[in-house]
Amino acid sequence: MANLTRIPVGRIFSFWSRSFSSPIKTPFFSSTLSHVPSYKISTTAHYSSPPPSPPPPLSAAMNTQVFSSSSRWRPMCLYFTQGKCTQMDDPSHLEKFNHDCSRDLQVNGTDIEKKRSQNVDFLLVIDLEGKVEILEFPVLLIDAKSLSLVDFFHRFVRPTKMSEQSVNKYIEGKYGEIGVDRVWHDTAQPFKEVMQQFEAWLSQHNLWEKERGGRLTRAAFVTCGNWDLKTKIPQQCEVSGIKLPPYFMEWINLKDVYLNFYGREARGMMSMMKQLEIPSLGCHHLGIDDSKNIARVLQRMLVDGALMQVTAKRNPVSQKVEFLFENRIQHPSRQRQ
């Protein structure tokens, strides 16, 4: 008989009751959940002991998914999102945890017909996590025509200039309450290595060629605010001792497009979702979940007829950022825009 390891997971699922506090109703997405059953979650879970290496497959992502009535919600495996799940052949693991990132991002086929043509073929939704240094780097690749999820890139990032004690305290405060600290410690990599993997991923999808100047081709980044690419990426590049990549020189701030398209202000992702009556999925401030929620807002705006235009550009020489929309969201008293 295989050895069993008892792993407390009470806090991993502690957000479930909050996520399912009310029925979810939305006409936009193809799958709806009109009734959410009550779950009795044991505070202790049993997992078969894995081989000594790689790390044990504690799947700790917090994705509240919207399925058809015949499907059962399962949390996303965060080892899988980083290509490190070792139990893909274990039926019990697959029964407990979801390994399909696209399930949250399906759109009704009839809605796609209403959208307008875009200036790019693909949209890269990015939402970084980490104030001192970047802790999480998630990117979702959305097809601008079909609005479907083509692929995703997700890495946890290990700070390079912080002491081990500071990192542990940092991670416990950031991810401990939602039970993601274990998977972060198991999988986090230095930012420089993450960027190398990200560029290989971009090249795989023919969105970037270093030999052609290093800018994106047929694609544009989409952010919820200017902070991610205006402030944090340049800071992290400096800390990590690398040059700011050319593909980070321009982006689409979804909040500015939202303001100009709908004629009303929304100062954050949650505000946009509330105004559009889109249910919030997963755990707020877990980057992969926030990226999905931003992508859902993006899909809705595209269906409604919005045109995604670049809202900010950085001068590669002076590094000064030019904002292209006269009417835009501004947060003068906050660091994170």
Catalytic residue list: 129, 285
Strand bridging mode 149-158 / 250-253: unpaired
The two structure tokens encoding residue 15: 């957000």
Burial class (CB in 10 A: 0-12, 13-18, 19+), 318: exposed
CB 194 within 8 A of CB 129: no
Q: Nearest-CA neighbor of 45 among 80, 84, 95? A: 95
Q: Locate 119 and state its tokens.
A: 């200036």
Give SS3 for 272: helix
Phi then psi for 122, rounded to 5 degrees? -135, 150
In angstroms, rounded to a whole number, what is the distance separating the alpha carbons of residues 244 and 237? 6
The pair of structure tokens assigned to 143 is: 């097809």
DSSP, collapsed to helix, strand or coil, labels residue 161 as coil
Residues 222 and 308: their CA atoms lie apart, in Å, by: 9
DSSP 278-321: PPP-S-TT-HHHHHHHHHHHHHHHHHHT------EEE-TTT--E
Bridge partners (DSSP) of residue 320 are none
Cβ–Cβ < 8 Å for 124, 139:
yes
Query: Using CA atoms in the order 198, 199, 200, 204, what is the torsion angle rounded to 10 degrees?
Result: 100
- Quick check: 38 and 84 in contact, CB under 8 A? no
